[in-house]
Amino acid sequence: MFKFVQIRWRTGPFARRCAWLSLGWVALALGAIGVVLPLLPTTPFIILAAFAFGRSSRRLQEWLENTPTFGPIIAEWRTNGAIAPRNKGLAITMMLAAFSASIAIGIASLVLIIQGVCMLGAAAFILSRPNCSG
């Protein structure tokens, strides 16, 4: 009686490349904002941008890896999986601030538990990375 229509999204090579390219530019913009705004961590966004550009544009990936501002962050991550202590501190501080804000606005307990577990996992990963200079 009813026919189910299956919608297939076009996910060809061009569409995937555009999606990765868009993600790369958004991550790069957030990372650049993080350079001047200490509330936003730079390192994770720059690493994500390098990864996304690597999946979409070799030229943009090479450009990003050769910039004096972001190149060392990417190189340290690739070589040692390292994050600068300053960036670790900012990431942990921002997680604490976000969790505190959630408590202050009265988020439901179950959501706070889920948020806390996710943030603890992210913090453990960040703190387990070796330190680099920067």
pLDDT of residue 11: 52
| pLDDT score of 111 more than 80 | yes
| pLDDT score of 3 more than 60 | no
pLDDT of residue 89: 87
Which tens digit of pLDDT belongs to each residue from 16-35? 889 999 999 999 998 888 77
Q: pTM of the prediction?
A: 0.63
Which pair of tokens denotes residue 120?
């603890």
How far is Cα 101 from Cα 90, in angstroms, rounded to an integer? 16
Q: Domain boundaries in the chain?
A: 13-128
How far is Cα 24 from Cα 97, in angstroms, rounded to an integer? 26
The end-to-end CA distance of the chain, in Å, is: 65
How far is Cα 54 from Cα 81, in angstroms, rounded to an integer? 17
Closest to 83 (Cα-Cα) out of 120, 30, 125, 119: 125
| pLDDT score of 1 more than 50 | no
Residue scoring higher pLDDT (84 or 10): 84
